[in-house]
A and B are shown apart, each in its own frame.
Chain A
Amino acid sequence: MSHVNVTADLSERNVELGSTGSLASHACLVVGLICLAVAFLFPVLGIGDTTWGAFWRNWLQTWIFVLQIPLGAFFFVFVQHLTRAGWSVAVRRPAEVIASNLNWIWIGFLPIAALFFFGGSYYLFPWSDMSELAAHAPEEAHLVEGKTAYLNTPFFLIRAVIYFVVWAVLANYFLRTSLRQGHEHGDGPTRSMQKVAAPAAILFGLTTTFAAFDWIMSLSPAWFSTMFGVYFFCGCATCGFAALILTCIMLQRNGHMVKVITNEHYQDMGKLLFAFGMVFWAYIGFSQYMLIWYANIPEETGWFLARQMGDWGWFSAWLLFGHFCIPFLFLISKHPKRNWRTLAFAAMWMMFFGWFDVYWLVMPTIPHDLATFDTYDAAAEAYAHVGTGLLNPINWFLLAGMLGIITWITISRLRSHPLICKSDPWIDESLNFENM
């Protein structure tokens, strides 16, 4: 407990959203729907020679980025209960609400799942049609053959259902139980959440790891990296923490949570963004790269080679500097973390590079004939013309569309609950929290 008493205003006007943001949230919905509709026009009308295969790859990429936001926020929520953290109580409710988007996030996966029933899944997941893969790339098919016990359509879809159920049940549980905290229930809900947090952490680790294997790694089915799940988790933390910071700042800019969320909370959220979004991401990314670079096994190096050919070389360099080097230097001091303007800039920057990172993971395809080249230089020269498609407007329409919809739902949900866990036993500690 602190001894400096900050007078926190817990009046209804301050800790309930009320009608604030109503117009903005509906605008987000309208813009989101229009952008999604425009994105669909690209393959329908064949604008810019967009094929349905390319469109669904874009869709998958954008959807995974949007999925990372509630997953990261969910990680934030259960880790507070796991560690019995006091400081975070003032910002936990926005995180719980963002995490509860896991209730409906599966809707974005439905079209991908539908591809398995209506054909067209081969373009994304080559393992889903082994005979076609064998016809195009016999060597790769030979490698993938051994994985069919795991990589087959029924099991793939069953696993997806398991992930969505686990995420929705857990995210809902933490939101509902947190709302039940209060005098009439004693400390039951608080203790219950602390108990559930441990198995939730294990389930979260397993589901995100296998979801990353299924939805991103199996796009190049011959390739494998055991570190991939952790890498995906770093992406979740990046986007989730950045979204939480931006939500808190937006709430305060609109006159809510004033003197409830302080610079002290921002500094700690900034530390988490710094630690997980930059340092841990770079650590894991480099560890994954260096082992593959050192071992130099063809079926492993192809994945990185595809990300170094043509324009992807610049793209990878941008990822390194944009996701790590530049924000690392920017956010290393405590001062930019304690100023809402600089922190908001850093959070938006990291959100963008979270999206950029998923683009780097999902969009490149490994050419089937890559293993036939004698040297690295020969392969790089043959594919020097490969573009990244980063400036393709379809990316931006899909991104605006999905972000618009998640923003709309998040604001609506924020409106239906108090913005603060008022009856949490550690609320006073959190309101008076100071870093030093």
Chain B
Amino acid sequence: MSATSKSNVTAPAESEGKTMYGLIAEYETPADLIKAAQQVRDAGFKWWDCCTPFPVHGLDKAMGIRTTILPVLVFFAGMTGTMVAFCLQTFTNATDFSLWAMVWVTGYPFLISGKPLMSLPAFIPVMFELTILFSALSTFSLMFGFNGLPRLYHPLFRSKRFRRVTDDRFFIVIEARDPRFFQGRTKAFLESLNPLSVEVVED
């Protein structure tokens, strides 16, 4: 989702000091959810989401979610790992190369079974491992970061109805900070998408 929000334009509906988080619409089957999600997408909402008990195939397309940039970042993180491992081993085996100007260390050449100090075959296992390590750690941390995790509390937890999302119900959530969100109009719009129910969720 886009990080730049124009949500300030629309003042969140406030009542008795409580801020409105958004509206949820409940569906019974994934097929109903997908049909509704396509219409929410076409209506131009930006701050909205679908919540389901299990991954629903085709939902990404129905929601119009763009491809994630994560794989590209992971690729470069992996390449960084490869180069770090290569530089590390080259430097630690170097005799005539020292980082003296920057740090007070020089290489520690260590001859093993008559192999040349700079032998690529011996370097490759470490290069491979660091590629994997950097890729795995960057996948993990970037995925968490992009999703705003870890997050211990979410306004949707307030809704009793929403608890069935871990079992047999499918939900569309439109957040109040969406520039196209107007409580009455959006509620009427969601009700036109044949949900089982529409509910207001407060922050």
Contact = CB atoms under 8 A, between A and B. Distances in A.
B57 A3 contact: yes
Nearest to A289: B121
Query: Chain B interface secondary structure, helix, strand, loop or mixed?
Result: helix
Interface string B24-42: 0000011100100000000
Interface stretch (A30-38, A167-175, A290-298): A290-298
Contact of B124 (A4, A286, A332, A436): A286
Contacts of B121: 286, 289-290, 293-294
A296 B113 CA distance: 9
Interface string A284-313: 001001100110100000000000000000
B56 interface: yes
A51 interface: no
A3 B56 contact: yes
Contacts of B113: 294, 296
B87 interface: no
Given A289-B121, A290-B121, A3 B31 contact: yes
A290 B120 CA distance: 10
A16 interface: no
A290 B71 contact: no
Nearest to B29: A3
A2 interface: yes
Contacts of A4: 34, 57-58
A293 B113 CA distance: 11
Interface residues of B, number: 17
Contacts of B60: 436
Interface string A302-334: 000000000000000000000000000000111
Interface residues of A, number: 15
Contacts of A289: 121
B1 interface: no
Interface in A8-46: none
Contacts of B115: 294
B75 A3 contact: no
A296 B122 CA distance: 13
* Residue from A289, A290, A334, A436 with most neighbouring chain B CB atoms (10 Å): A436
Interface string B102-115: 00000000000111
Nearest to A290: B121
Contacts, number: 34
A268 to B, nearest CB: 14
B17 to A, nearest CB: 42
Contacts of B57: 2-4, 432, 434, 436
A434 B75 CA distance: 24
Contact of A332 (B30, B58, B75, B125): B75
A2 B34 CA distance: 12
Nearest to A5: B31
A112 B89 CA distance: 48
Interface in A393-408: none
A3 B31 CA distance: 6
Contacts of B29: 3
B117 to A, nearest CB: 15
B1 to A, nearest CB: 17
Interface string B68-107: 0001000100000000000000000000000000000000
A3 B122 CA distance: 51
Contact of B58 (A2, A286, A293, A333): A2
A334 B74 CA distance: 14
A20 B28 CA distance: 47
B37 to A, nearest CB: 12
Interface string B1-45: 000000000000000000000000000011100100000000000
A289 B124 CA distance: 12
Contacts of B124: 286, 290
Nearest to A295: B113
Given A3-B30, A3-B31, A3-B34, A290 B125 contact: yes
Contact of A294 (B31, B71, B75, B122): B122
Contacts of B31: 3
B179 to A, nearest CB: 28
Interface in B110-145: 113-115, 121-122, 124-125
A325 B30 CA distance: 42
Interface string A241-258: 000000000000000000
Interface in B42-76: 56-58, 60, 71, 75
A294 B56 CA distance: 50
A267 to B, nearest CB: 13
Contacts of A286: 121, 124
B122 A333 contact: no
A36 B113 CA distance: 50
A290 B122 CA distance: 7
A333 to B, nearest CB: 7
A436 to B, nearest CB: 6
Given A290-B121, A293-B121, A3 B71 contact: no
B142 to A, nearest CB: 17
Nearest to A436: B60
Nearest to B124: A286
Nearest to B34: A3
A333 B71 contact: yes
B122 A434 contact: no
A2 B125 CA distance: 41
8 contacts: A2-B58, A3-B29, A3-B56, A3-B58, A4-B58, A286-B121, A294-B121, A294-B122
6 cross-chain pairs, A with B, having the tightest CB-CB distances, nearest first: A4-B58, A434-B57, A3-B30, A2-B57, A3-B31, A293-B121
Given A3-B57, A296-B114, A334-B71, 7 more contacts: A2-B58, A3-B56, A4-B34, A286-B124, A294-B121, A333-B71, A434-B58
